[in-house]
Structures are given as C-alpha cells and as structure tokens.
Chain A
C-alpha cells in the first residue's frame, strides 16, 4: 500500500441530482486508487447519505446561493467525510441529529443500534419520514465514527472510516 493523502473540498448546489453525481464520483475516484472495492462502496454510501440529509433538512430559504459544503479527505487508509449545511435557529432537525448520535452511543455496538432503529422505523408513523435511519446506517454499514456540531447556524456532520 503506497502512502498518500487526498482532499476534496467543494461547495455544492443543493439539488437532489447532485447526491448521486457526488456519490458515484467518490466511488469511482477511490475505486481507481484502492483495491478494496467494498471499502470504496462504503465511503460512497456514507457520502451519499450525508448529502441526502443536508439537502433534505438544510435551510435553503436564504437569499444567498443555496449550497452545502462537502469535504472528503484522508491519509493512508483513514478517510473522513464532512458535510455542512445551513439550518434555521432552533431547527428541530439539527437537534434530532445530535440526539440521534447520543442515542447511538448508548448501544454497545453499531449493529445493535441499527437493529433498534429498524424496529423503531417499523413502528413509526409512515408519514413522518424523518427517522435518521441514514445516520445509523452510516455507522453500521460504513463501520465509522460519527460526530456533529452546530455552530452559528451551520450543522456539520462528520464521519471517520477506514477504507
């Protein structure tokens, strides 16, 4: 394995079509570098789920250009994915993201948190559509550590994984 580092740092228009464009770009880019195809798929899945959340729950009502910020970086076999999006003051979704991460840490493993979330989704009102299943999936399928912070109206969610 050769030593390397990489960094992608992009302001991206908050359009749904960009989810798959970026997810597949990340997958194709890293598949060209790594022999671990499955690890590249995990990195792409993590990127896709975080972008989906940013577009779905970001505050895109402001007068400025509507963009979220994607960063993917790493060195060796360690990779990080960070997505930032604006949120409204008192935004319930941002609070729910932080609460969900705390809830996940209450489980001894990510698979147990994921199973619990699956059962929760099965019992939930079908119209609600804000289960945070994607976040829990990232931790389990991506085998990564998740963190989040809310600073001056911007929610940043970050994943760290090994590829």
Chain B
C-alpha cells in the first residue's frame, strides 16, 4: 500500500497484517487548491484494497493540523463511495482539538448505519 504526499499533506499507509483494517495516518495540512485531484484516485486504490481484504478502512486525522473545505468535500465523496462498495469506513479524530471535534461531529449527519463510524480518540 502506497503512502501519498501532496503539497503539505502526507497520508501514511500503515503496513499491517492483511486481516487488520487498512489504516491511513494524515499528517500536515491539506491546503491544496484541488485536493480531490490527488485524493480521489488514492481513495479508489485504498478502497479497492479494503474491499478485496474484506476489512474496514480507517482514516486517522489526530495528527492533522488543518484541512480546507475542499478536503471535506473529498471526504464526503469517500463516505459515499465506501458505502457503495460496502466497505466500513472509520474516521478517527482528536476530540480535544475543537476544530476537529466540530468538523467531524458535523459529519455524523452521514452516520445513518454501521458502515460509517466517527471515533473520538
């Protein structure tokens, strides 16, 4: 599984045993003008991997410093695509950071079944 580096954003794919969830650690800042151009194909790849392995996809944002609203749009599209592929998606955030708590609490509007979990760390 490849990691992704685009501008100030680094998404590190953790190498674990195949039965473990696919874990992606977000670091830095997602401030690209068109983050979807890099994120969409990367998300397709990791979703396909999680689907093949029949494991959840976990995105860890605890170490992320900032993301812009265009990045939120890309995350919403991932939520939809993971649900369409029946891959469980887990978004892990630091609830002690007010901006992360506000951002991810609002995304609970999409948590209508157990295919999406918003986990406060």
**Complex Cα–Cα for A55 and B77 (A):** 24
B93 to chain A, nearest CB (A): 13
* Interface of chain A, main secondary structure: helix
Q: Which of B8, B69, B80, B99 has the most chain A CB within a 10 Å cutoff?
A: B69
Q: Contacts A41-B98, A56-B33; is A126 near B109 (CB within 8 Å)?
A: no
Count of residues in B whose CB is under 8 Å from the partner chain: 25
**Complex Cα–Cα for A38 and B79 (A):** 27
Count of residues in A whose CB is under 8 Å from the partner chain: 29
Asked whether any CB of chain A lies closer than 8 Å to the CB of B29, the reply is: yes
B106 lies within 8 A of A115 (CB): yes
B117 to chain A, nearest CB (A): 17
A 10-49 binary contact with B (CB < 8 Å = 1; else 0): 0000001001100100000000000000100110110011
Asked whether any CB of chain B lies closer than 8 Å to the CB of A68, the reply is: no
Q: Contacts A38-B99, A111-B106; is A16 near B33 (CB within 8 Å)?
A: yes
A49-B69, A121-B73, A133-B73 are known; give 20 further A-B pairs, CB within 8 A: A16-B33, A20-B8, A23-B31, A23-B66, A38-B98, A38-B99, A41-B66, A42-B98, A48-B66, A49-B68, A52-B33, A111-B106, A118-B109, A118-B110, A122-B77, A131-B73, A133-B69, A133-B72, A140-B102, A141-B99
